[in-house]
Amino acid sequence: MTPRPTHAPPPQASTPTSRPIPAQRRASAALADGPDRPCKAKPQPAPPWVDPASNRECDLEIVNLQDLEQDAKRILSPRRYSFIEPVGDGVSYRENLRAFEAHPILPRRLRGIKAIDLRTQLLGQALPFPIITCPMGSHGRFHVEAENATARGTGAAGTLYVSSGAANQTMEDIAGATSGPKWFQIYMNRDMEINRWLCKRAREAGYTAIVFTVDALGASQSDAYVRHGRYTPPDLTIGNHDPKRGGRGDFRDQKRDITFEDIRFLREESGLPVVVKGLTHPDDVDKAIGAGAAAVWISNHGGRQIDGVPASLTLLEAAAKRVAGRVPVIFDSGVRRGIDVFKAIALGADVVAVGRPVLWGLINGGAGGVKTVYEHIVRELKEAMLLAGRANVKDITRDSVG
């Protein structure tokens, strides 16, 4: 088991840590009786699973996002949940959480703030707040509605959904599920024709940027996942894969010898801006911008690729300094609270992406769960800004944190 993160008190083992929205908002029949919390039920696909994915659909009353992890682990079997766990000894995962503690917020007072304005812009797209959903693969393991529910919940919250190249549904289906803006994330295939085809499909499906993930080059998995025999439920496929084109569409077909040249390739083939995800070194950030990156995404993949690397937050400031405003900086890894979003922006991020908490929302409440994860973190961010004396996102400057 992964040790608990250091900055959240452990919930009581037998107590559900978040509650569903009260009874009048619930469907009267077919409740998905999860651990202690009634929710509407989505139909389960046949055959009936002994080890089912979540079929829950409800808004959640959330005390804090970290609590949802505990509940997600009570809803799914350890076998299904193992895909979410960090790799190795979980050192980088814990570091991602701990690093936020090293930057205390330095509030300013008496600023007469009447309203908090969270609006921001990202590559020409207006966002209601500076928080977006990370690309994450294989949501069919977690919920019967898979990526469609995550995309719908993100869209209902009004923000950007980044559709993973390793999703279980097709990028066209997912594009149709969200009412919000959307980007497509690619793991490059060894077959450049397949990359061309994916770029074309993404453009035609209405995605407005390609996210090129450069820090995952194979089957890096948690020990728990390996122990469970690298379990993939038999009904799950890689949504974007066409067997007629050969290969399996997963990491076994991945192009591992990627270079900065591939940024140019993706830009030319898609005609879309390319966001490079998984950078941490300032020199790499520089080279990516030189090769045409429209934005850089500072991330260590949430401690899910190589263990033993520093927290993403620890590397953010130096990377953002090198960017020097040339392109937007996106940040992820370890964001669990509104104050975490605040700190990442103070250290140089323009927009912050949330990973696991969105999946915990999906498992606990489907699209409604995802939407309420956003409502909760946005509320926390607003409170943090008010109490720290920062009225809008641009006011969250470097001197806002120690």
- Which residues are within 8 A (CB) of 309 and not within 5 positions of it... i.e. 6 or more apart? 92, 280, 300
Which residue among 34, 181, 302, 368 contacts ligand FNR (CB under 6 A)? 302
Single out the segment in contact with ligand FNR by CB under 6 A; choices: 37-45, 49-57, 298-306, 364-372: 298-306
Nearest-10 Cα torsion for 50, 249, 216, 352: -80
| Residue 139 annotated to the active site | no
Of the pair 54, 333, the CB lying nearest ligand FNR is at: 333
Which residue among 17, 168, 280, 333 contacts ligand FNR (CB under 6 A)? 333
Which residue among 155, 355, 365, 369 contacts ligand FNR (CB under 6 A)? 355
Angle between the N-to-C axes of helices 91-98 and 312-323, in degrees from 0 to 180, rounded to the nearest 10: 70
Q: How far is the CB of 203 from ligand FNR (least distance, A)?
A: 19
By the rule CB under 6 A, 213 interacts with ligand FNR = yes
Q: How far is the CB of 121 from ligand FNR (least distance, A)?
A: 22
Single out the segment in contact with ligand FNR by CB under 6 A; choices: 146-154, 228-236, 263-271, 297-305: 297-305
By the rule CB under 6 A, 274 interacts with ligand FNR = no
By the rule CB under 6 A, 332 interacts with ligand FNR = yes
From CA 402, how far away is CA 399, in angstroms rounded?
7
By the rule CB under 6 A, 356 interacts with ligand FNR = yes
Angle between the N-to-C axes of helices 338-346 and 356-388, in degrees from 0 to 180, rounded to the nearest 10: 70
By the rule CB under 6 A, 354 interacts with ligand FNR = yes
By the rule CB under 6 A, 73 interacts with ligand FNR = no
CA distances from 310 to 93, 99, 152, 301, 314 (A): 9, 9, 33, 12, 7
Which residue among 175, 266, 335, 341 contacts ligand FNR (CB under 6 A)? 335
Catalytic residue among 103, 139, 301, 376: 301
Which residue among 39, 136, 149, 276 contacts ligand FNR (CB under 6 A)? 136
By the rule CB under 6 A, 135 interacts with ligand FNR = yes
- Which residues are within 8 A (CB) of 326 and not within 5 positions of it... i.e. 6 or more apart? 289
Single out the segment in contact with ligand FNR by CB under 6 A; choices: 3-11, 99-107, 217-225, 350-358: 350-358
Which residue among 62, 123, 134, 294 contacts ligand FNR (CB under 6 A)? 134
Q: How far is the CB of 213 from ligand FNR (least distance, A)?
A: 4
User: Quick check: helix, strand or coil at residue 22?
Assistant: coil
By the rule CB under 6 A, 368 interacts with ligand FNR = no
Number of residues that bind ligand FNR (CB under 6 A): 23
- Which residues are within 8 A (CB) of 20 and not within 5 positions of it... i.e. 6 or more apart? 26, 37, 38, 39, 58, 59, 60, 61, 365
| Binding characters for ligand FNR, 78-97, by CB under 6 A (x = yes) | -----xx-----------x-
By the rule CB under 6 A, 254 interacts with ligand FNR = no
Q: Rg (Cα) of the chain, in Å, rounded? A: 20
Backbone dihedral region for residue 248 (phi beyond 0: left; psi -120 to 50: alpha; all else: beta): alpha
Q: What is the DSSP secondary structure assignment for residue 251, as one 8-state letter? A: G
What sign has the CA pseudo-torsion 392, 94, 327, 175? Answer: negative
Structure tokens at 201: 């499909």
Of the pair 58, 136, the CB lying nearest ligand FNR is at: 136
From CA 127, how far away is CA 175, in angstroms rounded?
17
By the rule CB under 6 A, 166 interacts with ligand FNR = yes
Give backbone dihedrals phi and psi of 230, rounded to 5 degrees, phi first.
Answer: 50, 55
By the rule CB under 6 A, 334 interacts with ligand FNR = yes
Residue for token pair 């949501």: 139
By the rule CB under 6 A, 372 interacts with ligand FNR = no
List active site positions: 301
Which residue ranges make up the site for ligand FNR (CB under 6 A)?
Answer: 83-84, 96, 134-137, 164, 166, 185, 213, 277, 299, 301-302, 304, 332-335, 354-356
